[in-house]
Amino acid sequence: MPEITATKTAADMTCARPHTLMPGGGQNRRAARAQAVALRWLVRIAAFLTAAVLVFLIGYILVMGIPNLKPELFAWEYNSENVSLTPALINTVLMTAFALLIATPLGIFAAIWLVEYARRGSKLVKVVRVTTETLQGIPSIVYGLFGMLFFVTQLPWGYSMIAGAFTLAIMVLPVIMGTTEEALIAVPDSYREGSFGLGAGKLRTVFTIVLPSAMPGILSGVILATGRIVGETAALIYTASSVAKIPTSVFSSTRTLAVHMYLLSNEGLYIGQTYGTAVVLLVLVLIIGQVVFSGVMFSMTGALTAISYIIVCRWGMGALGASTDLNDRLSWLKAGLDSPMYDATVPNLVHSWQMLGLITLVCVAAAWLVLYIGFNRKKG
């Protein structure tokens, strides 16, 4: 009998235990519910403030800039009376296209190597990733100083569009590379395994399965890089200078819309035109973003032929002494004048062979990459 009584007492205590803990459990649930409601409202308030700031900035620029969009602001030639933005607009489009043409393939292929071909967990991959993350945090003026010392002075390309484009390409390369790597990592391994199971090789799997699946993330990185290129000023002042003329070649000094806005606002005499330029820059960023996101940048129909034609013609002109002596033209460009375009001199011939060497180096690197991928494909 005592054992039965003890058993009943333990059962009674066990049954009574939830009743004694109910008030505390209810309080915890009410506290969790209140915390979820508070977090939900904090997120809503943060989203509202972010949208409000964005709408305010865009609205302020439009209200202040649209009344200043006058016909003389879109004149073909720049002078101190009309302060036309047309040369800067054309230079911005060309600079953006040139820099993306250099940085996008390099960043995408580097990310493909890190994710698909490099051994996972290797020290080299870790070093590359740390370096990429570090380069994203370097101020743009440091890139501009490097571009001035290397591209402008050492090569020498002078203050030119090509010097600015290569500097911007180096600056946005970590952005494209990092976003592409994250997009490739996000692709499930089941996609790759299914492709291998159907008999596809490594190269075909990457270009037909993995890349299309990661394309939204890759395009997001390209759009971020585009925004940084369009809004860059410090690096371009050091490398491309600020001549407000439509370029006659890739070796001409240029001025983009961001640099144009900076110079106009710095003078303090054309504030209205500065706001008008800001409206055009805003519209240009939206248009370029739509073009990139729609995939037009990746439509290579006829593009390779055109690029090879330009390279061959450029080198052929240089070999005949038809390239421009940048050092002699630099003083003319700063004065806003133009020197003779073609001068058959020994420095020009040497410069043309330097360009040929650079093009050869790029072609050799591309050929090595293709052979390396093909060898790994056969080995796999």
Q: In whole angstroms, give the CA distance from residue 326 to residue 340.
A: 11
Peptide bond into 156 cis (omega under 30): yes
At 358 the pLDDT is 60
230 and 287 belong to one structural domain: yes
At 4 the pLDDT is 47
Q: Is residue 131 part of a domain?
A: yes
C-alpha 206, offset from chain centre: 22
324 and 338 belong to one structural domain: yes
Q: pLDDT exceeding 70 applies to what percent of the chain?
A: 69
Q: How many CA atoms lie within 13 A of 59 on its CB side?
A: 6
At 380 the pLDDT is 53
Q: Which of 295, 319, 341 is the last residue of a domain?
A: 295
Q: Is residue 48 part of a domain?
A: no
Q: In whole angstroms, give the CA distance from residue 18 to residue 89.
A: 73
Q: Which domain holds residue 194?
A: 69-295
At 28 the pLDDT is 84
Task: Considering only residues 35 and 369, tell me which one the structure prediction assigns the higher pLDDT.
Answer: 35
261 and 181 belong to one structural domain: yes
Q: pLDDT class for 342, splitting at 50, 70, 90?
A: very low
**Whose structure tokens read 């380069």?**
135
Residue 50: what residue type?
T
Q: pLDDT class for 247, splitting at 50, 70, 90?
A: confident
**CATH number reported for the structural domain that contains residue 133 in this entry:** 1.10.3720.10
Task: Considering only residues 273 and 313, tell me which one the structure prediction assigns the higher pLDDT.
Answer: 273
Q: What is the DSSP string of 5-73?
A: HHHHHHHHHHHHHHHHHHHHHHHHHHHHHHHHHHHHHHHHHHHHHHHHHHHHHHHHHHHHHGGG--GGG
Q: Is residue 9 part of a domain?
A: no
Mean pLDDT of all residues belonging to the chain: 77
At 122 the pLDDT is 83
Q: In whole angstroms, give the CA distance from residue 79 to residue 72.
A: 10
**Whose structure tokens read 């790029």?**
362
**Whose structure tokens read 């890349």?**
211
Q: What are phi and psi of 247, to 5 degrees?
A: -70, 140
How many domains, the chain? 2
285 and 218 belong to one structural domain: yes
At 81 the pLDDT is 85
191 and 214 belong to one structural domain: yes
Q: Is residue 30 part of a domain?
A: no
CB atoms within 10 A of CB 40: 10
CA dihedral sign, ordered 23, 26, 28, 34: negative
Average pLDDT in the 165-192 region?
93
Q: In whole angstroms, give the CA distance from residue 346 to residue 355.
A: 14
At 102 the pLDDT is 93
Q: pLDDT class for 372, splitting at 50, 70, 90?
A: low
Residue 281: name the closest of 355, 221, 231 by CA: 231
58-67 tens-digit pLDDT: 899 989 999 8
C-alpha 316, offset from chain centre: 32
Q: What is the DSSP string of 359-373?
A: HHHHHHHHHHHHHHH
Q: In whole angstroms, give the CA distance from residue 40 to residue 231.
A: 35
304 and 278 belong to one structural domain: no
Average pLDDT in the 8-26 region?
50
Q: Which of 260, 295, 330 is the last residue of a domain?
A: 295
pLDDT at 293 > cutoff 70? no
Q: Which of 228, 261, 295 is the last residue of a domain?
A: 295
**Whose structure tokens read 């070796």?**
251
Residue 60 tokens read as 């302020």
225 and 355 belong to one structural domain: no
Q: Is residue 19 part of a domain?
A: no
At 96 the pLDDT is 92
143 and 234 belong to one structural domain: yes
**206 CB-near residues (< 8 Å, 6+ apart):** 112, 116
pLDDT at 272 > cutoff 70? yes
226 and 346 belong to one structural domain: no
Q: Is residue 183 part of a domain?
A: yes
Task: Considering only residues 15 and 245, tell me which one the structure prediction assigns the higher pLDDT.
Answer: 245
At 150 the pLDDT is 93
Instruction: For the chain, give percent helix, strand, coil, nearest 5.
Output: 80, 0, 20
Q: How many CA atoms lie within 13 A of 51 on its CB side?
A: 6
Task: Considering only residues 279 and 358, tell me which one the structure prediction assigns the higher pLDDT.
Answer: 279
Q: pLDDT class for 359, splitting at 50, 70, 90?
A: low
257 and 116 belong to one structural domain: yes
- The SS3 assignment for 231 reads coil
Q: Is residue 245 part of a domain?
A: yes
88-127 tens-digit pLDDT: 999 999 999 999 999 999 999 999 999 988 887 788 888 8
212-235 tens-digit pLDDT: 899 888 988 998 899 899 989 999
Q: pLDDT class for 16, splitting at 50, 70, 90?
A: very low
pLDDT at 357 > cutoff 80? no
Q: Is residue 333 part of a domain?
A: yes
At 110 the pLDDT is 92
298-339 tens-digit pLDDT: 444 444 444 444 444 443 334 333 333 334 444 444 444 444
92 and 178 belong to one structural domain: yes
Answer yes or no: are the C-beta atoms of 140 and 232 closer than 8 Å. Answer: yes
Q: In whole angstroms, give the CA distance from residue 105 to residue 225.
A: 13
96 and 215 belong to one structural domain: yes
